[in-house]
Amino acid sequence: MKKIVEVLEEKKNGLVFGNRILLPFQAELLKIVIDSEIITNFGKRLKGAHVRVTDYYTEIYFLDYKILVNEIPKYKSIKMVVVQQGEDVFDFNNHINLEIEFLGKHQISIKKIGDDVLFYE
């Protein structure tokens, strides 16, 4: 299983199906911003997002959406704060800010958030 930094270096893409995205690494999710909704509570399964980490990927279900590709505006992205699973979540140096963009019907790009994008942990 690749680590987050490796995925970023190799510019490996993720997948999107309906309201579910699959990220090719194992991560602890700390915060997600989708459109203007800030999700930090991953405990409930009725609203916001549900996260599941498998041996092969991390999947996120956005429970308030049906088809993400259709519902997220063109110039908007999904932003998130993640930590590589197994690393110290309490060390802020391990926090990685990611930006997810839709490339087509089922592909998503995964990039580190640049200086130009407004995002605060």
Partner 1 sequence: MNKKIVILFIVTLLSFAATSKIVAQDANHTSKTEIVQETHQAEGEHQLPNTFMVIPFIVLLAMIATGPIMYQHFWEHHYPKVALLLGAITASYYLVVLKDFHSLLHTAAEYFSFIALLASLFYASGGIMIKVDKKATPLLNISLLLFGAIIANVIGTTGASMLLIRPFIKINEKRIKPYLVVFFIFLISNIGGALTPIGDPPLFLGFLKGIDFFWFVEHIWYIWLPTVALLLIIFYFFDINNKADDDGQEYSGKFEFKGGKNLIYLAIILVAVFIDPNVISWVPNLAPFPIGIREMIQFGVVLFAIKTSDKEILKYNEFNIEPIREVAFLFIGIFATMIPALQLISHEANVLGDSLTPGLFFWSTGSLSGVLDNAPTYLNFLSAALGKFGLDLNNAADVKEFMNMDYIYLQAISVAAVFFGAMTYIGNGPNFMVKSIVESAGIRMPSFFSYIIKYSVPILLPVFTLVWLVFYY
| 95 near partner 1 (CB under 8 A) | no
Token digits of residue 83: 């930590």
Decide whether 27 or 57 has the Cβ nearer to partner 1: 27
Near partner 1 in 28-47, by CB under 8 A: 31, 33, 35-38
Q: 85: which DSSP letter?
A: T
Specify the residue, 74 or 105, whose C-beta has the smaller distance to partner 1: 74
Q: Could you tell me the end-to-end alpha-carbon distance of the chain, in angstroms, rounded to an integer?
A: 26
What is the distance between the alpha carbons of residues 114 and 52, in angstroms, rounded to a whole number? 27
Looking at the Cβ atoms of 21 and 34, the one nearer to partner 1 is: 34
Contact 106, 15 (CB under 8 A): yes
Q: Which of 15, 42, 89, 119 binds partner 1 (CB under 8 A)?
A: 119
